Structure 1
Amino acid sequence: MVGRELGGFARRAGATESTAEPALKVEGLSGRRHRDVSFELRPGEILGVAGLPDSGRVELLHNLFGADPGTGGTVELLGEPYERRNPIASVERRLAFVPGERRAQGLLTTMSVGENVGALTTKAFSRLGLIRRRAFDTAATEQAQRLRVKTATMTQPITSLSGGNQQKAVLGRWLAIDPGVLILDEPTRGVDIGAKAEIYDRLTALADKGLAILCSSSDLPELLTLTDRIAVMSEGRLVAVVDSADATEESVMTLATGAAPAAA
């Protein structure tokens, strides 16, 4: 990653200004704990979402993915209207979502590493209701290698891996659907510094290749490091979108808490 250092990680220099049509266009989106939220996310951009725990930022992500029905607003995904019916429909539209609660929402805890990584591709490797096991295993192994998932074998239980490797496996599962838009909540919560660096590098490389990424985090240094812009939410509303290169932890927190700027 190119840019100035922040918290031991090089700060993302920022995406090149793009005139491409938005990969995700949100207008007046409302739902549980959020209302009238509007923003655009363009290909090759990493847009952060910051806010206090009760700001509505997590509920916004679930609304976008169809996991938490909204009450209003419109969304365009990859240039087409998107109804947010349910997560299955979202996956079919190439919208990926890595949830913040890894063990409760992300891991298939009774399954192996390979089954976790390949869980969303079984249909692609099935014929007459039977999985083409060799092709499935090969694809899952290659995906795990791309994410540098450290595992003795792909058949060992996913729960035997470290938190960082579990998180990379979950990320690999969603990247396997070749998403047009990737949504992440708390992408490096509970992982060690080495895994964090690998996840940052992978997300940056994906954005550099044109993937549109929406990333919510309670870790402000993470957002300042990883993103191009930060959408700040406060009490259910999007109150500002700021360039990450110009932002500080203090300036983002001021917006998130609704506090008045300090007098000059």
Structure 2
Amino acid sequence: MATAHALADRAGAVILPHFRTDLTVDHKGGAQFDPVTVADRDAESAIRALLSETFPEHGIVGEEFEDARPDADFCWIVDPIDGTRAFIMGQPLWGTLIGLSAHGAPLLGMMNQPYTGERFWSGETESFFARGLGQGGETRTIRVRPCPALGGAILASTAPELFARTNCPAFEALARTVRLRRFGGDCYNYCLLAMGQIDLVVEAGLKPFDIMPLVPIVERAGGIVTTWEGGDPSRGGRIVAAGDPALHAQA
């Protein structure tokens, strides 16, 4: 966990000078705009450099570069800027995701938002939140909130494009039953869920680095994360996260 905090500190120091500046945005390719910036690449490079010094035998799976020893017993899963679209728009709804898996199972997770000074992470049995960590900020335990019925639930998702074509009917059927749905937020939504601010996060088309670091945060705050079919979420795909197990079952 000390290494995860050090990685978040180093990545934040690399990313922040680029936020809300006139930086160049590249397109990775594909039908939909898939942005990447020097902040994404340099932050992941900084994370990889520190990990190679600290745990050279561990694997690393990241968004911007090729996997290194992905089948290692311990493997770090990193997304230097989850929410690059929000980042290039100047919205503070992005974060650095850092996760560690042990023999393929999520072991720890962290989401760092250096602009707002907020950090979320999982302990052995609980999840935590701090603002201004390292600057006298207080750390507190976070918990999901009860919400057993869909009719009272607040649902969040990153973008409607996630549900185009085959995913759309299922998502729309669920969205019609909840009290409120809201788009935008990326990784921040899962942390709001763990804090007890919202009740459901539903997404599709996620990669492992989009979700694996967030799973321990939600679970140790009392929530549940699975695929739409109820399976292992750590490999990505179609994801449903809920703070209340009864709500998750209904969703």
TM-score (norm 1): 0.27
Kindly indicate which of the two structures has a greater share of residues assigned to strand.
2
TM-score, with structure 2 as normaliser: 0.28
Larger Cα-atom Rg: 1
